[in-house]
Structure 1
Amino acid sequence: MATVPTLPGITSKVVDTSRLKQHVLFSGPENGTPVLFVHGNASSASYWEEIMLKLPAGFRGIAPDLRGYGDTEDKLIDATRGMGDWIDDIAALLDALKIEKTHVVGHSMGGTIVFGLVGSLNGRVWSGTVVNPGSIYGFGGSKDLDGTPCYDDFAGSGGGVVNPEFPKLIAAGDRSSDNPQASPRVVMNGFYWKPPFVPAREEDLLSSLMTEKIGDQKYPGDFVPFWQLAQCRAGKFGPINALSPKYVGDSVKNFVGAASKPFILWARGDSDMIVSDSSFFDFGTLGKLGYVPGWPGEEVYPPQPMVGQTRSLLEKYTAQGGSFEEVVIADTGHTPYVEKPEEFMKAFGKVLK
């Protein structure tokens, strides 16, 4: 039984794979063309349900809860492998479902994982769609379009960049709006979509956010405590450490150099404040605004140009024989497929054709 109630037309199942038991949502016919949906951080497969139900006839939606999230078996994420645990889990799921090839769609952190899947799954991806994807160079602690680390030891990234109150309130099951900086509901409604939009399934999506596994080795993960940016270093466990530029490693090389280069659709909201060139979740932006004591200045630690890094990456991919399209969805935030599903499907439907 799924923790979060599902919409009519969505089925919920636990799939026993060679790596872990994965909770997976399905839509469409079992023999349909597969479309794999990968959710982002502080969410679960539930966020994809409406889009899964909008797939054209003959397509099968498949949305797993990633390791560390939702109702999937609770096993630790080895952050030192970068996206490796998630990529291998997804490959194991495809094997268990006897799927040779699939379209893949990823949001935010899930978009970063999609870049990794294209580089690692050796021709098993028909198309890749990334929605407001995190930078393939990692989250935090990098600068310029090539993802140069701000510090040689990758300080300023990892679990220490998370407001510690946010995971505490998730663990406490806090559904209030009492803490304007860290209440899960406030963060979701303030940043996941562009206010004043509130989705019809607000309570279910909040429940989905709160299924993330919390702990020193889970979310936000272990880290060297932050008293100034040069001291904040990634630990070895959990999703935020896995997305540190310290560990993403060969992802860029593998993606750009992939032997099989599927078409990439890059869709993003024009008002995203989480993944942007001036993200409100980035120490570089917050330092520039005067909110980070000991910020070393823009030359050392500027705002990470996350959107610019993705565009530069996709241009390199194209130069090596790939192709992509960038679609900007107006008046939406970090989750345009929730805010304007019809507009998202207009672009995504072309990819499926």
Structure 2
Amino acid sequence: MIEQKFLSTQRLKIAYYHGGTPGMPKLMLIHGNASSSKFYLPLMERLAGEFELVAPDLRCFGDTEALPVDATRGLRDWSDDLYSLTHSLGWNEFFLQGWSMGGGIAMQYAIDHGEQLLGLILEDPLSPFGFGGTCTPDGQKLTPAGLASGGGCANPKLVQAILDGDREFLRSTLNDLYFKPPFRAAPEWEEIFVDAIASTRVGDGMYPGDFLSVPQWPGLAPGNSGICNAMSPVYCDLSPIADIPHKCPILWLQGDSDLIVSDYSLADFGALGAMGAVPGWPGADIFPPQPMLAQIRFVLERYAANGGSYREVVIKDSGHGPHVDQETVFAQALTSFASQANQ
């Protein structure tokens, strides 16, 4: 049985789902931005016989205590929160899976506590060089100040829909961007997933974060607090994962039709400018789309060259959330990886 629990750690009160089979390998599932652990409930039901499972809500999402995010620490607020949870649970050896921003947090956790990990599963992850503001596979910034990244880059219509409780806008976002159309979750799950997006906490230090107005196109640079600023390349650099001493095997699972984590992301100003969606784009020579997939591959190749190992699996007919829109294929890849890594 999967049940929601609450645990007050040294850092905050964390809500999490727990289930699966005690004595089996432990697996922690980390959700992404504008979501919550509820997105993992169907997968947890499927994997319950293979693992003992924990899926926490990150701070500013779901039912976990809504403390502000210090963006100047990159993703470390969340990594430290998760360590306080694993310490309280007595989890010293486990598999860690992270989706989207959660994939970035999982990489940060590996940098901070890699000795605990049996394996790392990255699902359509945040680039190791953050979201927005970079232009080359090795993470070169467009400007030192992080132009076109941070709190000002969130979709203002999504922010307003969360504030207003506009479920139909959130439903459209879910079905158009999180999954590959024409996939639709079963109606009861769709409502739960909309609830999860709606649980995102909007406000100072939370979603999306503050920003600075600057003269260069598109006129936005990151502030220093809140969720989206924590993913700015000014503060977020996960490339040191390539140099950690304890290198667990890594599985990278990527939906082939992801519109968010892509070399041509619909959430990136370089791509939006190129397609004419944001006027004034200065051109690809000055402001190319962020090559997110190339950046992930660049860092994972360095990880492998330094003694680690990784495998990239592209999941067909899948969007940004293959653990939902291609659940069977995703679960098979994950369990096969864990079985091999645990031998």
Secondary structure class of the residue paired with 1:150: coil
Q: 1:333 aligned to 298, 301, 319, which one?
A: 319
Structure 2 runs not aligned, ≥5 long: none
Contact 2:36 2:199 in 1 (8 A): yes
Per the alignment, residue 180 of structure 1 pairs with none
> 290, 293, 297: which one pairs with 2:276?
290
Q: Decide whether aligned partners of structure 1 residues 56 and 73 sit closer, same or farther in structure 2, where only a CA change above 3 A counts.
A: closer
Letter in 1 for 2:69: I
Counterpart of 2:58, as a letter, is L
1:342 and 1:226 map into 2 onto residues whose CA distance is 46
* Residues matched between the structures, number: 337
Partner of 2:83: 91
Which string of whole-angstrom CA distances, capped at 9 and with x for unpartnered residues, describes residues 220-267 of structure 1?
111114775363111111111000000014x212x0111100100000
Give the equivalent residue in structure 2 for 1:10.
Answer: 2
- Residue identity opposite 1:316 in structure 2: R
Give the direction of change, closer, same or farther, for the CA distance of 1:333–1:227 in structure 2 (3 Å limit). Answer: farther
How far apart in 2 are the matches of 1:349 and 1:122? 20
8 Å contact from structure 1 (residues 151, 230) kept in 2:
no
Residue of structure 2 equivalent to 1:269:
255
Amino acid in structure 1 at the alignment position of 2:163: A
Give SS of 2:55's match: strand
1:346 aligns with 332
Q: Are 2:230 and 1:238 aligned?
A: no
Matched, 1:159 2:151: yes
Contact 1:228 1:295 in 2 (8 A): no
Pick the aligned partner of 1:316 from 302, 308, 311.
Answer: 302
Percent sequence identity over aligned pairs = 40
Q: Summarize the alignment of residues 84-123 of structure 1 with structure 2, pairs less than 5 Å apart.
A: 84-123=76-115
Residue 239 of structure 2 aligns to which amino acid in structure 1? V
Are residues 1:192 and 2:195 paired? no
Residues 160 and 226, structure 1, Cα contact 8 Å, conserved in 2: no
Secondary structure at the counterpart of residue 167 of structure 2: coil
Tell me the alpha carbon deviations over residues 65-90 of structure 1, each in whole angstroms, 9 at most, x when there is no partner.
00110000110011100011000000
Q: Equivalents in 2 of 1:226, 1:352: separation in Å?
A: 47
Whether the 8 Å CA contact 2:70–2:205 is kept in 1: the answer is no
CA RMSD across the alignment? 1.4
CA contact (8 A) 2:60 2:200 kept: yes
Partner in structure 2 of residue 174 of structure 1: 166
**1:19 and 2:5 matched:** no
Question: Which residue of structure 1 lines up, in the alignment, with residue 141 of structure 2?
Answer: 149
Of 271, 284, 290, the residue aligned with 1:304 is: 290
More displaced, 41-50 or 22-31? 22-31
Match of 2:116 in 1: 124
Displacement of 1:216: 3.5
Tell me how far apart the structure 2 counterparts of residues 84 and 229 of structure 1 sit (CA, whole Å): 30
Conserved? CA contact 2:25–2:51, under 8 Å: yes
Q: Do the aligned partners of residues 109 and 173 (structure 1) sit closer, same or farther apart at CA in structure 2, a change above 3 Å counting?
A: same
2:207 aligns with: 219
- Counterpart residue identity of residue 292, structure 1: V
Q: Which of the pair is proportionally richer in helix? A: 2
- Contact 1:141/1:301, CA 8 A, preserved across alignment: no
Distance in 2, matches of 1:232 and 1:343, equals 39
Q: Write the distance in 1 (CA, Å) between the matches of 2:178 and 2:49.
A: 29
Deviations 1:103-125 (A, max 9, x none): 00011111111111111104011
SS of the equivalent of 2:313 reads: strand
Partner of 1:36 in structure 2? 28
DSSP-derived class of the 1:215 partner: coil
TM-score, length-scaled by structure 2 = 0.95
User: For 1:149, what is the secondary structure of its paired residue?
Assistant: coil
Matches of 2:323 and 2:20, distance apart in 1: 19
Separation in structure 2 between the aligned mates of residue 233 and residue 132 of structure 1, nearest angstrom: 25
Summarize the Cα distance change of 1:338–1:227 in structure 2 as closer, same or farther, 3 Å threshold. Answer: farther
The alpha carbon displacement at 1:139 in A equals: 0.2
Alignment partners' CA distance in 1, 2:303 and 2:110: 11
Q: Deviations over 1:21-40 (max 9, x none)?
A: 00010111344431000000
